[in-house]
Chains A and B, each alone.
Chain A
């Protein structure tokens, strides 16, 4: 059972059915198709991230689930209920908007109580107090949104949505407007609140680190379709496309000629060196391919020194750049065939930083490599936010 299946399984145990399902969901605007025949199942209780660069259709998808956008075709189901054309105010779905969209004429308590009151609940005091407590806003109840800091406004937006106990909580880049430090602490906070309330969270973001930190399942979207979906480790270790390999973290992608399947591995010729890739990580088995490896998996040593990695040994490389980052050093290494690859090395103190110009050997453990179809653009997902 793969990691993602395991996670999904656990969540199914916790709460029965009422998964959010998107079937063939498509949204066309006048000049382009924002979302193309999207199929997706978000199991109850998961923290689900839709990750992608701006313009990939993730926000449009979210807005369709919220009911703020009508799909061109396809269906949205909550459990067995088709909510595709249900009005937004009749859906058990709430949204934390990108710019919070707090009501400026209402105080914090009134903002938080808004949803309950509209549903005709008279006594909202207890629920509001409890929600303000959960989001650490109790002392701000009588202030107006304009008097709060960005982080506090963000929490009000969250409280205002959460208090309704929606079946699905949608978060549209909720941390985008916060500074880095606050963002990190809010990520932890959001994750804590999600596991406390046990609701389904669908989080839209372009920040891969944010998605990986918080989500149980990440779906990487690009050009209106989902490129790959899985747990953060699965996506990171075994990307299926060059886009995922580049957008989620960094990857070294080296062109190679696939030799063929050999038992548990697929062998490929990489500029004269035969390298092997585990079969479950090989997404091409013939012709040309991209051999990929994450920078922290690349090991380097002065020429002739022993490298702690069996196989995939390459000689004749030269360090071209070394950036000291504190916890680690980032090397740029020019391989014998002229391509530069990146290697991260923990600064364990076992060896001094290698100066540019140092001749080195390069290696990586075969089990950490992956193999992608060469028909894809090797730069897909690079530099996109």
Chain B
């Protein structure tokens, strides 16, 4: 008897964890999204099954919603290119520097996310050396700037989420047997062909993992847009944060959060499907 139940008892901690930190918050978020839109901190909030919150929120905030997906998409694409090169170099070319380089990839995490983003504010400042240099070579106009532009936000997102791309890519590339690349080259594949026919397909699990780990938090991020962007070009994270903490419009904030979540889940499923990595979905 006991033997048959042991399995279920072993399952209990995971189930409890999932209930506490996933099911309950999710329920609470969904419930919030269905609050009576007329509720306020003073009058209290009721779950009114107000599905109208969704079209209302989307029609009012579709711009930041789309902007978030676009920014996150661009940042993810840049991360993929930069991260792939870096992960490849660490996996195959770093030799005895491999561990040091991995530590350096993770090193930024030792500093607070907020502090790191704030320091980018200094780096990209209007009188900073980057802006001055770009003005000097006429990439930027004389009164051109980086701070408070989409470029700064995407750069910030790219910088902040790069390690999330590098680590899964490294894990996938590190497992790749370099003799397979030699075999491809022995079988008439030029270096480019060998990459696309052998290295890339075999690193796909890392690509999928890295893209998800980068895109999902980047799409919901508000710190980068807050500190590096302009108030006119906010991301959906800023809107949600503002609705929750300043305006107190819990219903709209909840509806927007759930919408963002559903969009991301849909995109992830679609992406993972096309990447044919069944083990992820």
Asked whether A89 is an interface residue with its Cβ less than 8 Å from the other chain, the reply is: yes
Asked whether A223 is an interface residue with its Cβ less than 8 Å from the other chain, the reply is: no
Asked whether A24 is an interface residue with its Cβ less than 8 Å from the other chain, the reply is: no
CA of A322 to CA of B198, assembled, Å? 57
Which listed residue, A68, A99, A104, A114, touches B187 by the CB 8 Å rule? A114
CA of A103 to CA of B194, assembled, Å? 11
Asked whether B184 is an interface residue with its Cβ less than 8 Å from the other chain, the reply is: yes
Report the stretch among B92-100, B109-117, B174-182 that lies at the interface: B174-182
Known contacts A68-B185, A160-B187; A101 and B193 CB within 8 A of each other: no
Question: Is B198 touching A89 in the complex (CB atoms < 8 A)?
Answer: no
Which listed residue, A95, A99, A102, A119, touches B186 by the CB 8 Å rule? A95
- With both chains docked as a complex, state the minimum distance between the C-beta of B206 and any C-beta of chain A, in angstroms: 13
Residues of chain A contacted by B177 (CB below 8 angstroms)? 101
CA of A81 to CA of B184, assembled, Å? 23
Which listed residue, B179, B180, B185, B202, touches A89 by the CB 8 Å rule? B185
Asked whether B77 is an interface residue with its Cβ less than 8 Å from the other chain, the reply is: no
Question: Is A101 touching B180 in the complex (CB atoms < 8 A)?
Answer: yes
CA of A102 to CA of B100, assembled, Å? 32
Q: How does the 8 Å CB contact mask read for A141-165 relative to B, with 1 for contact and 0 for none?
A: 0000000000000000000110010
- With both chains docked as a complex, state the minimum distance between the C-beta of B189 and any C-beta of chain A, in angstroms: 5
Known contacts A103-B198, A104-B202, A105-B202; A97 and B188 CB within 8 A of each other: no
Residues of chain B contacted by A88 (CB below 8 angstroms)? 182, 185-186
Which listed residue, B179, B187, B198, B201, touches A115 by the CB 8 Å rule? B187
Question: Is B201 touching A94 in the complex (CB atoms < 8 A)?
Answer: no
Q: How does the 8 Å CB contact mask read for B124-144 relative to A, with 1 for contact and 0 for none?
A: 000000000000000000000
Residues of chain A contacted by B197 (CB below 8 angstroms)? 114, 118
Asked whether A235 is an interface residue with its Cβ less than 8 Å from the other chain, the reply is: no
Known contacts A99-B179, A101-B177, A101-B180; A66 and B201 CB within 8 A of each other: no
Residues of chain A contacted by B193 (CB below 8 angstroms)? 89, 118
- With both chains docked as a complex, state the minimum distance between the C-beta of B202 and any C-beta of chain A, in angstroms: 6
Which listed residue, B186, B190, B194, touches A94 by the CB 8 Å rule? B186
- Interface size in chain B (residues, C-beta < 8 A): 18
A to B contact number (C-beta, < 8 Å): 63
From 91 to 117 in chain A, residues with beta carbon under 8 angstroms from any chain B beta carbon are 93-95, 97, 99, 101-105, 114-115
Q: Determine the residue in chain B with the shortest Cβ distance to A95.
A: B186
Q: Determine the residue in chain B with the shortest Cβ distance to A170.
A: B186
Question: Is A118 touching B189 in the complex (CB atoms < 8 A)?
Answer: yes
Question: Is B182 touching A68 in the complex (CB atoms < 8 A)?
Answer: yes
From 114 to 131 in chain A, residues with beta carbon under 8 angstroms from any chain B beta carbon are 114-115, 118-119
Question: Is B180 touching A103 in the complex (CB atoms < 8 A)?
Answer: yes
Residues of chain B contacted by A118 (CB below 8 angstroms)? 184, 187-189, 193, 197
Known contacts A104-B202, A105-B202, A118-B193; A164 and B188 CB within 8 A of each other: yes
Question: Is B187 touching A94 in the complex (CB atoms < 8 A)?
Answer: yes
Question: Is B189 touching A68 in the complex (CB atoms < 8 A)?
Answer: no
CA of A68 to CA of B191, assembled, Å? 12
CA of A89 to CA of B198, assembled, Å? 14
CA of A166 to CA of B161, assembled, Å? 48
CA of A102 to CA of B184, assembled, Å? 9
CA of A161 to CA of B187, assembled, Å? 7
Asked whether B104 is an interface residue with its Cβ less than 8 Å from the other chain, the reply is: no
Q: How does the 8 Å CB contact mask read for A286-306 relative to B, with 1 for contact and 0 for none?
A: 000000000000000000000
CA of A68 to CA of B180, assembled, Å? 12
Asked whether B23 is an interface residue with its Cβ less than 8 Å from the other chain, the reply is: no
Which listed residue, A87, A90, A103, touches B183 by the CB 8 Å rule? A103
Known contacts A89-B189, A89-B190, A118-B193; A97 and B184 CB within 8 A of each other: no
- With both chains docked as a complex, state the minimum distance between the C-beta of B2 and any C-beta of chain A, in angstroms: 39
CA of A88 to CA of B187, assembled, Å? 8
Question: Is A114 touching B184 in the complex (CB atoms < 8 A)?
Answer: yes
Question: Is B186 touching A66 in the complex (CB atoms < 8 A)?
Answer: yes
Known contacts A89-B188, A164-B188; A97 and B201 CB within 8 A of each other: no
- With both chains docked as a complex, state the minimum distance between the C-beta of B34 and any C-beta of chain A, in angstroms: 46
Q: Determine the residue in chain A with the shortest Cβ distance to B176.
A: A104
- With both chains docked as a complex, state the minimum distance between the C-beta of A169 and any C-beta of chain B, in angstroms: 11
Residues of chain B contacted by A68 (CB below 8 angstroms)? 182, 185-186
- With both chains docked as a complex, state the minimum distance between the C-beta of A90 and any C-beta of chain B, in angstroms: 8
Residues of chain A contacted by B184 (CB below 8 angstroms)? 103, 114, 118
Q: Determine the residue in chain A with the shortest Cβ distance to B178.
A: A101
- With both chains docked as a complex, state the minimum distance between the C-beta of B193 and any C-beta of chain A, in angstroms: 6
- With both chains docked as a complex, state the minimum distance between the C-beta of B278 and any C-beta of chain A, in angstroms: 14
Q: Determine the residue in chain A with the shortest Cβ distance to B202.
A: A105
- With both chains docked as a complex, state the minimum distance between the C-beta of B277 and any C-beta of chain A, in angstroms: 11
Q: Determine the residue in chain B with the shortest Cβ distance to A99.
A: B179
CA of A105 to CA of B193, assembled, Å? 15
Residues of chain B contacted by A114 (CB below 8 angstroms)? 184, 187, 189, 197
Known contacts A103-B198, A104-B202, A105-B202; A97 and B189 CB within 8 A of each other: no
List 9 interface pairs A-B (beta carbons < 8 Å), by A numbering: A68-B186, A87-B190, A88-B186, A89-B194, A101-B180, A102-B183, A103-B198, A114-B184, A115-B188
* Additional 7 contacts, C-beta under 8 A, given A93-B186, A105-B201: A89-B186, A89-B188, A101-B180, A101-B182, A118-B184, A160-B187, A161-B186
The 9 closest A-B pairs by CB, nearest first: A115-B187, A101-B183, A118-B188, A101-B179, A88-B185, A118-B189, A89-B188, A95-B186, A105-B201
